[in-house]
Amino acid sequence: MKSISRNNAGGPSAALLVLGATGAIGRGVVRAALDAGRPVIAVSPDTDGLRALQGLHAHADLSFIDAPLGDEHDAAALEHTLRELDRPIHGVVVALCSERERGRLLDGSATELRESIDQNVVAHLALARHLLPLLAKGGRAGGWVIVDGPGGDNPWAGYGHRSVGAAALRMLARVLHEEARPRGVRVQLLALDWPLKTDANARHACDQWPEALGVGRRAIALLDRIDHAATDPIVHCKGPCKTQSQGSDGDDAALAARCHEDARRLLGALSPSNKHNDATSPLSSKEDAHDPPTRR
């Protein structure tokens, strides 16, 4: 644990704890919470990223904790720091940042898979073990939302480590959802069905890819229990990740129609009867064909 700093003392009002606050999704959650008038405690091992957040939200009720989030020791140290801070926590959003290069699972070592699971699954359990009791403190429990990217329901070709870890994390979320209920804490996982749209990949991003602020708003809606899937352990963030009040079933139908049309065009381009030059194929761009996934 390195340091604690604040933009505003903020008083004793309950705060939202954002773990992994300097990642793309973490920044979106912080902004969504502050836009909604919520105090935030932002935690990350990225000192420069925390300074950037401080500059973006100079007058907000935003506290910073520079701390690693990798294992049981890190989680215990963070618990100690938060207890010393002595500020009520009404909710937690976990958006840990973990990225891997493309590659087949069979081409990597078992050690690499173990390290991936440690980062993507075991770290979440360690944090839950030490921080869930803080939510239940004083009899006013809050919610716990994990945000994770695509690939957990079906294998993502070329990202085997990501798919195995995501599938394990979703089962962990289901187990924690049941085990935390006696404490009055609801644990949920917000699963992105598409990669996240960022400034870095905006040139090649599809229209249905969610943006960080939209994901942040959806996470806040889950914490506030105003989301239409508020009681489910796994909640899918489809399309641009709208909250219930922002979209309707008609939006989903339109998105499905566009996806079907894209699929028909792709199949037509791959058909032997297609006489078009390969350059007109939707897969003719090497960059577009294998755009790496962007996570939190």
Q: Identify the band that residue 98 occupies on the pLDDT scale cut at 50, 70 and 90.
A: low
- The alpha-helical segments, DSSP class H, found in 47-156 are 47-56, 72-85, 110-117, 123-136
pTM to 2 decimals? 0.78
Distance, in Å, from the CA atom of 111 to the CA atom of 105, rounded to the nearest integer, reads 11
Amino acid 226: pLDDT = 67
Residue 196 within a domain: yes
Residue 23 within a domain: yes
On whether the CB atoms of residues 97 and 20 are closer than 8 A, the answer is: yes
| Number of compact structural domains in the chain | 1
Residue 219 within a domain: yes
Residue 259 within a domain: no
Residue 39 within a domain: yes
pLDDT in tens, 237-282: 876 675 444 443 444 455 455 555 555 665 565 555 544 444 443 3
One DSSP character per residue, 126-182 reads HHHHHHHHHHHGGG---EEEEEE-S-SSS--TTBHHHHHHHHHHHHHHHHHHHHTGG
pLDDT greater than 80 at residue 7: no
Residue 276 within a domain: no
Amino acid 283: pLDDT = 35
Domain range for residue 92?
3-250+285-289
- Average of pLDDT values for 124-133? 96
Q: Identify the band that residue 81 occupies on the pLDDT scale cut at 50, 70 and 90.
A: very high
CB proximity list for 232: less than 8 A, separation 6 or greater: 188
Domain harbouring 30, CATH code: 3.40.50.720
pLDDT in tens, 153-189: 888 778 888 889 999 999 999 999 999 998 889 999 9
**Which residue shows structure tokens 């894209």?**
262
Amino acid 167: pLDDT = 94
Q: What percent of the chain has pLDDT over 90?
A: 48
Residue 215 within a domain: yes
Residue 137 within a domain: yes
